[in-house]
Structure 1
Amino acid sequence: MDFRYLGNSGLKISEITYGNWLTHGSQVENDVAKECVRAALDVGISTFDTADVYANTKAETVLGEALAGERRESLEIFTKVYWPTGPGGKNDTGLSRKHIMESINGSLQRLQTDYVDLYQAHRFDTETPLEETMTAFADVVRQGKALYIGVSEWTADQIREGHRLAQELNIQLISSQPQYNMLWRVIEDEVVPACEELGISQIVWSPIAQGVLTGKYQPGQPPPAGSRATDEKGGADFVKRFLRDDVLTRVERLRPIADEAGLTMAQLAVAWVLQNPNVAAALVGASRPEQVHENVKAAGVKLEPEVMTAIDEALGDVVERDPGKTEENAPQTRVA
């Protein structure tokens, strides 16, 4: 496993980071989820990412149980706050001081830890003053409940303003967690340059485009049984944007490129995001331990310039690059 600094901090994280969105507490049984975490630890992954909203807090509980007994100082545990949790009451959502303070306490209890290494704003809250949000985050840091602050799916302008306030409050905002993969490159024109300037790294989710870049979805064919595209608990909604025949046909052109590089298509996809110097880690999930063992083989892989060019040529115009998609896909009002 290779390790990278997160932003301009002194914190090192594993460049393959284990994430439990859509798996722990919902898609797979708890014993299998724990086996996946054990597999991650066995291959050298030390960084684990979750969120209070995943399976409505159950994912944090499963991760906490899976990591119990491990040396805490050897781990980096990340979680997030924003989306509705619990019964979904009027203050059970957003980035208000009330919700942040209550959420960090709940997350720590479920994760069985005194602190998280990174506490992330899961989306931008348009209905709470950013000063209130950042002040609450600063207090969480000063109380020793989080070491660093991050954001997820914020625009470049939002990141700039959040970073300015973090500096005023003497806390470190060091990470951005956006969707990023060969097919979805909307952060490249605005978010990445802003983050490079500010000393912020990307921890990217969906590096294999919810499984599309593995090549398991074929043009003109129904999704394989048991795949994410058939998961009505949430996975199907996220993957459907890529399940167009023109996209799937282009993805098939990646197969010989992966073969030539001696990688599976999934490994090629994970390795591709790690070529971006502003990316500190690729988030990978797993519903089976063997998936962890396969994905981790992308760590430390260097793709030559001609391979990167071949990938661009194979995918052509099906790649989404519009930076406006970040704001377009964000909640415009607080979700209740």
Structure 2
Amino acid sequence: MQYRRLGKSGLQVSALSFGSWVTFGDQASNKTAEACLQLAYDSGINFFDNAEGYANGQSEEVMGSAIAKAGWARDTFVVSSKVFWGGEKPNQVGLSKKHVIEACEAALKRLRVDYLDLYYCHRPDPDTPIEETVRAMDVLIQQGKILYWGTSEWSAAEIMEAYSIARQYHLTPPTMEQPEYNLLKRHRFEVEYARLYSQIGLGTTTFSPLAGGILTGKYNDGIPPDSRLAYTEFDWMQEKLARLQAQGGIQVLQELTAIAQKLGASLPQLSIAWLLKNPNVSSVILGASRPEQLEQNLKALDILDTLNDEIMDEIEIAISRFQEIDA
């Protein structure tokens, strides 16, 4: 396993991390979740990602129970939560000081830890002043309940506003952003955020490295009835796949698969390794509904050194043939 600094902070996170979105408390059984977590930990992963909105908090319950059962030393792992979607009532949603602090307390209980290493604002909240959210995060840091705070899917302008407010009032600025980043979605990470990496030392923990499964190639011939996209709650992913198909994206996926095969790898492994070639990526969050899937994706590290300039150019030529599918 490789380890990278989280932006300009001193925190070391594994280049590959493990997240529980749409699996824990939903697709995967508790036994499978425990097996995946232990495999990740034994493979050197030290960052485990979660959120209050994942399976309505059940995902954090499952992860917290599994970690407690495994008995890992607290200084050997990094755990996160994200705040925004906590419930249906007015103060259970958003980034008000009340919800930010109460959601943190609830996450600590579900995850069975005394503090969160990373705490994210899961989305920007147009109904709450950014200054209020920055001050709430600083309170939690001063109380020792979180160590670092950041954002997820915020615009560069919003991140800079939060950073500037923190500096102006001598508060703790955001350390990291958690954006979607993959071969099919690049603009925000590579263009919009470009100046933030050097200007404020922004760290990144990227999610959806396989574009919701599209970069596995399993949807090239349609949607299998037992796959994630077959469920109605993932109709937004079905629309993304349809847009990709309309642009001739399936041929691009086939070309990428051929490149991967030249390296003795799979398309998912190539996709993950490609992300790791970007020095502004602190950690790539992997998801898995079974240990075998996680084990295969971890092998992306084995081909990282084979992605030379020639291979990277081949990949660039392939993916430049269509526009970002959800820009």
TM-score range, shorter chain: over 0.9
Whole-angstrom CA distance in 2 between matches of 1:282 and 1:105: 27
Query: In the alignment, which of 296, 309, 313 is matched to residue 309 of structure 1?
Result: 313
Give, in angstroms, the shift of residue 247 of structure 1: 1.6
- SS of structure 1 residue aligned to 2:118: strand
Runs of 5+ consecutive residues of structure 1 not aligned to the other structure: 326-336
- Measured at CA, do residues 34 and 240 of structure 1 come closer, stay the same or move farther in structure 2, by a change above 3 Å? farther
Cα pair 2:162 2:173 within 8 Å, conserved = no
Give, in angstroms, the shift of residue 96 of structure 1: 0.1
Runs of 5+ consecutive residues of structure 2 not aligned to the other structure: none
Whole-angstrom CA distance in 2 between matches of 1:313 and 1:160: 33
Given residue 149 of structure 2, which amino acid in structure 1 is its aligned partner? Answer: I
- SS of structure 2 residue aligned to 1:282: strand
Cα pair 1:50 1:79 within 8 Å, conserved = yes
The runs of at least 4 consecutive aligned structure 1 residues that moved more than 3 Å come to none
Q: Let me know the Cα RMSD of the aligned residues.
A: 1.6
- SS of structure 1 residue aligned to 2:8: coil
Please, what TM-score do these two structures have when normalized by structure 1?
0.91
Give, in angstroms, the shift of residue 225 of structure 1: 2.9
- SS of structure 1 residue aligned to 2:187: coil
Greater shift, 221-230 or 35-44, is seen at: 221-230
Whole-angstrom CA distance in 2 between matches of 1:296 and 1:235: 25
Whole-angstrom CA distance in 1 between matches of 2:318 and 2:289: 29
1:179 corresponding residue in structure 2 = 180
What is the CA deviation profile of residues 17-66 of structure 1, one whole-angstrom value per residue up to 9, with x for unaligned ones?
Answer: 10100100111222111111111112111110010000010001111011
1:224 corresponding residue in structure 2 = 224
Give, in angstroms, the shift of residue 217 of structure 1: 1.3
2:126 corresponding residue in structure 1 = 126
Please state if 1:157 is matched with 2:157. yes
Please, what TM-score do these two structures have when normalized by structure 2?
0.93
Give, in angstroms, the shift of residue 281 of structure 1: 0.7
Given residue 176 of structure 1, which amino acid in structure 2 is its aligned partner? Answer: E
Give, in angstroms, the shift of residue 170 of structure 1: 3.5
1:65 corresponding residue in structure 2 = 65
Given residue 240 of structure 2, which amino acid in structure 1 is its aligned partner? Answer: R
- SS of structure 2 residue aligned to 1:114: coil
Whole-angstrom CA distance in 2 between matches of 1:166 and 1:54: 29
Matches for 1:194-213 after TM superposition, within 5 Å = 194-213=196-215
- SS of structure 2 residue aligned to 1:278: coil
Cα pair 2:46 2:77 within 8 Å, conserved = yes
Whole-angstrom CA distance in 1 between matches of 2:5 and 2:173: 14
Whole-angstrom CA distance in 2 between matches of 1:7 and 1:170: 18
Greater shift, 208-217 or 311-320, is seen at: 311-320
Cα pair 1:115 1:144 within 8 Å, conserved = yes
Cα pair 1:138 1:169 within 8 Å, conserved = no
